[in-house]
Amino acid sequence: MFLSAFYFPGEEAESDFMFGLKTTYDQSVYPYGILPKVGLNEIFFRPVTILYGNNGSGKSTALNIIAEKLRLVRNSAYNRSRFFGDFVDRCKATLEEAVPRESRIITSDDVFDMMLDIRSINEGIDRKREELADDYYELKHEKFQIRSLDDLEHLHRINEARKKTKSRFIEGESGKSIRERSNGESALMYFQGKIEMDTLCLLDEPENSLSPENQLILADFLMDSVRYCGNQLVISTHSPFLLALPGAKIINLDDQSRVVDSWTELKNPRVYYDFFRKHAGEFAQED
């Protein structure tokens, strides 16, 4: 445990701020006015703490505020107004231990940016392969005479073109594409690569882009990171696979930020349960 408690300004402090704000040309005073609506004034943490709620309930807002207050590592930009810093200054955090420098927040935007980077790399490789296909035929039939040591590299390429097939020549000079992995597999590897041992990690809807099977793999990885690697996790999620993490404290922002007794009482898992129960006969026919 690194973070034991976090205190947001609360409805009274937010009202005082709004009262003192005489004029503004901003359409929004975000993040003011968001968290009091769902009764989120403070959070007392466990090794795994989960924020649950519908879209717009303030889950991401709360994580961004905590990350900004603790100066956690982040890769992607996030939604903020000119009042965001003032709001963060009014927040308080209670620590059990100093937060390690490698602690970070990982958002869906981080994962999507990684996927775009992979796509860009693959597109670049494809363009290079097209150019190499033209080079192959030119090199294979080129009449070349070496004149200096500077020509050795070009001579080497000629020899490679003459002794290899076109496909082997292109593969050797272009490098392999990394598109063999699906988006979900790449996202899973992103989490596994970014979460360091003995750190505080904030994860904003990490289930995005993951199939149910990969969500289960992620859930096992996250649980192992807590049990064996000394990590503390704060997660916002709708995923029943993550909500079911053993020992997790779940705060339901849809119910005035009440701490739930069991993940099975939440609406999202109940929707899945009711759906599969309705179709239980169809599964039974396959057995």
User: What are the distances in angstroms from CA 89 to CA 63, 67, 175, 235?
Assistant: 15, 12, 49, 23
Q: Which band of pLDDT confidence, cut at 50, 70 and 90, is reported for residue 284?
A: confident
What is the rounded distance in angstroms from the CA atom of residue 197 to the CA atom of residue 169? 42
What's the CATH class of domain 3-109+183-286?
alpha beta
Q: Which residue has the higher pLDDT, 133 or 37?
A: 37
pTM of the model: 0.76
What is the rounded distance in angstroms from the CA atom of residue 178 to the CA atom of residue 199? 29
The region of weakest confidence among 19-23, 29-33, 69-73, 177-181 is 177-181
pLDDT score at 222: 95
pLDDT score at 139: 67
Model confidence at 179: pLDDT above 70: no
End-to-end CA distance of the chain: 45
Residue at 123: amino acid letter: E
Region(s) of the chain under CATH 3.40.50:
3-109+183-286
Which tens digit of pLDDT belongs to each residue from 144-160? Answer: 665 665 666 766 777 77
Q: Which band of pLDDT confidence, cut at 50, 70 and 90, is reported for residue 125?
A: low
